[in-house]
Structure 1
Amino acid sequence: MSKRHHHGPYPSLALVVIARNEAGCIQRCLMSAKPYVDRLVVLDTGSTDDTVAIAQACGAEVGHFTWIDDFSAARNAALVLANSDWNLVMDADEWIESGGEHLRSLCTATPYMGEVCISSHTFHEDIKIQANSQIIRLLPRGVRYERRVHEQPVAPLVQKRVPIVFGHDGYTDEKVEKKRGRNTALLLKELVDHPTDPYVLFQFGKDLEQTTLDFTRAADYYARALELTAPNAPYRHNLCMRLLFSLNRAGQLDTAITRAGEWMDEWAESPDFFYQVGILMTDASTKYPDQALSQWLPMAEQAFLRCLEIGDRPNLDDSTLGVGSHFAAERLADVHQRRSHYLANKAHYYLTLAEELKRGAATTPSAAT
């Protein structure tokens, strides 16, 4: 039996990472955590680059695991290897951005599962986009993972947020391309085993949306997931926003508008929700131009103004930073440009009509006797 590791009178704390071919980022990950933990533990799942050598140079204990298409199996093997009282679980493309100094005091005698804030950075058309998610990553001894992919720690313990922020840049185009297909195959296996699990349905919808751009099927899976998702599920906010987006992109604008109407109360304090509503109203002004000025554009304006009223909500799960500030302001500018365009066209229409009526009056015989 492996020896339990202790740090003086305190519970032992290990950083636990599974990795394969992460030579480009493993050092950043390990060195960000090294000042705050007792040990760095890396389980390599078959690297062919310098991942192992770099991890060892950082002072990590490196174990080896034969990959069996199961992230939970690898996570659990890494936790066994760590054999620590508390485990801080990280991915190689993450790093501690803030709060590491709190880690020691968070490892208490009373076990719980700690949710850290993961701040994901990506770019879309050269625009930096940041979204925060709350994910369980601080685990006491004995907690284990379930599911082949998008694995989750499972234990009858209270969950609470802790003041730790991880940076994450794993959603860049290059890194997403590396994952393309791998997760799909594992998710298909999960769907076979758990066809009514709302989280699996949600993740499969995300995979369809992001890797195949099949928004129609993605919306179908999101809708199925939503029917089964508990009202307090932490991913429900993201699920609803993705359903609205996918319905719209799938050409089901009217259905998206109906759905949004059902959620006005539920997401009354979500800038992401009103941002999506504003986009739906703006798109409706194009689809139904006769009502653009009287209905759709004023509703779009109100939605984006509501975004600014709420402001950014970094603590709301998977809220995109900017939808409560500069992105909403940019959309408002677009709404007013569209309104000016419609007004200009309307003015042009009536000026033209006036000229036609004048010409008609000049050439039409008088009705007077």
Structure 2
Amino acid sequence: MSSKRIALVMIVRNEARSIARCLQSVRPWVDEMIVLDTGSDDDTVNIAESLGAKVHSFIWCHDFAAARNAALELSTADWNLVLDADEWIISGGEAFAALRHCNEELIGILRRDDEAEVDGELQVSSVWISRILPRHVRYVGRIHEQLLCPGMQRRQLELVVGHDGYLEQHKATKQGRNEALLRVELALNPEDPYFNYQLGKELEVYARFAEAVTFYEKALLHTEADANWRHDLVVRSLFSLKKAGNFERALHLAEAEMPHWQHSPDFFFALGDVLLDWAIADPAQAEVLLPMIASSWERCLEIGDNPTLNSTVIGRGSFLAAKNLHAFYLSLGQSDQAEYFANLERELLRQHSI
């Protein structure tokens, strides 16, 4: 069996902060690294070339699929790994490199761990995304581009990639760019559930929660039950409704969606957060809401972490739920219960770090 060639294929612009980390993490596993620069005026190009990447230029045309496809055209490899500069390989390089001996026609799915700050705390959520492509596969769509490969088999690989572009200190550099492109798409297709979801997400990332809710609600109307983004859409809708102070609408959504997410710690975690903020905002409701808050987070522990879910936050089925229950019972003066969950949090954190 002849050995296949593997390439890293990237589009970049002003990524001097992170491109070296990305290239260094990938270099041991690929035969070539292709970087398509769309107009950097920092040290991105020099850094990429110094690390052995082949750098080419592309005039940005406000179309991500066009740029991705132009980069893919430069590759002669049998397999192309598509990453952004703020992503890097954490683990699983060996499984990825094993594709050299794979003759199947498939799309490889990797796990990306997204770092983000939520209410001042670092959280990591895992998403499964199709980023390992056979030579001939291309993209379509000017923003949040999708693969043009109908019916092709997709397989999860043991490749884990980190991503820190959602952290506060980094996301400001891209503010407005994605929103503008998404609004162009929605002007053409106002009811499109995927673009409504993505625009809601974009607005949420920049704390524009009331606006985000509008687009999430449009997306919920038309998103199929088995769409791979629906879990994230529901959980983000609950969060944004909470942040916008729309507690009753959040509860109605939770009641409607609950039968579908009995396996999701993220759903019950978000529900507990909604109920807690409602109790704080309206103390007259607290007597009814407090038991529901505790049962929501306890349900998270019953389910446990579920890494098979798309866009699941690590720890919501374990140490993060225990942490919330510790703080919850401590605030109520129930010291025995608080101590129990404090000890459980420490134990779950210990297990998680193993």
TM-score under structure 1 length normalisation? 0.85
Residue 162 of structure 2 is aligned to residue 167 of structure 1: yes
Q: How does 1:182-331 map to 2 (within 5 A)?
A: 182-211=177-206, 213-293=207-287, 295-331=288-324
Q: Is the 1:122–1:172 Cα contact (8 Å) retained in structure 2?
A: yes
1:51-73 C-alpha deviation (Å, 9 max, x unpaired): 11111111111111011111111
Q: Is the 2:117–2:123 Cα contact (8 Å) retained in structure 1?
A: yes
| Aligned match for 2:133, one of 115, 128, 139 | 139
1:324-357 C-alpha deviation (Å, 9 max, x unpaired): 223212321333245449xxxxxxxxxxxxxxxx
1:56-99 C-alpha deviation (Å, 9 max, x unpaired): 11111111101111111110000001132210011111111111
Aligned to 1:352: none
Which is higher, the Rg of structure 1 or of structure 2? 1
Aligned to 1:73: 66
Displacement, 1:11? 2.1
Residue 73 of structure 2 is aligned to residue 84 of structure 1: no
Aligned to 2:328: 335
Q: Is the 1:120–1:131 Cα contact (8 Å) retained in structure 2?
A: yes
Residue 169 of structure 2 is aligned to residue 181 of structure 1: no
Displacement, 1:196? 2.3
Displacement, 1:177? 0.2
- 2:74 is paired with a residue of what secondary structure? helix
Aligned to 1:152: 146
Change (3 A) 1:31 1:214: closer
Residue 33 of structure 2 is aligned to residue 64 of structure 1: no
Change (3 A) 1:290 1:28: closer
Displacement, 1:288? 4.8
Q: Which moved more, 1:125-134 or 1:30-39?
A: 125-134
Q: Which moved more, 1:167-176 or 1:237-246?
A: 167-176
1:202-256 C-alpha deviation (Å, 9 max, x unpaired): 0111122222x33222112111111211211111111000111112222221111
Displacement, 1:120? 1.4
TM-score under structure 2 length normalisation? 0.89
1:114-141 C-alpha deviation (Å, 9 max, x unpaired): 1100011234466321111111100011
For 2:309, the aligned partner's letter is: L
Aligned to 1:349: none
Q: Is the 2:33–2:54 Cα contact (8 Å) retained in structure 1?
A: yes
For 1:197 and 1:312, the matched residues in 2 are separated by 31
- 1:22 is paired with a residue of what secondary structure? coil
For 2:194, the aligned partner's letter is: Y
The ranges of structure 1 where at least 4 consecutive aligned residues each deviate by more than 4 angstroms after the TM superposition are: none
Q: Is the 1:15–1:33 Cα contact (8 Å) retained in structure 2?
A: yes
For 1:24 and 1:335, the matched residues in 2 are separated by 40
Displacement, 1:266? 0.7
Q: Which moved more, 1:89-98 or 1:103-112?
A: 103-112
Q: Is the 1:14–1:82 Cα contact (8 Å) retained in structure 2?
A: yes
For 1:124 and 1:246, the matched residues in 2 are separated by 12
For 1:84 and 1:195, the matched residues in 2 are separated by 38
For 1:85 and 1:21, the matched residues in 2 are separated by 29
For 1:288 and 1:40, the matched residues in 2 are separated by 56
1:293-338 C-alpha deviation (Å, 9 max, x unpaired): 3x21111111111111222223321111122223212321333245
For 2:201 and 2:43, the matched residues in 1 are separated by 32
For 1:248 and 1:310, the matched residues in 2 are separated by 23
For 2:330 and 2:281, the matched residues in 1 are separated by 17
Q: Which moved more, 1:141-150 or 1:281-290?
A: 281-290
Aligned to 2:123: 129
Instruction: Give the fraction of aligned pairs with identical amino acids, expressed as a percent.
Output: 44
For 2:143 and 2:276, the matched residues in 1 are separated by 37
- Unaligned stretches of 5+ residues in structure 1: 1-7, 342-369
- Unaligned stretches of 5+ residues in structure 2: 335-354
Q: Is the 2:4–2:99 Cα contact (8 Å) retained in structure 1?
A: no
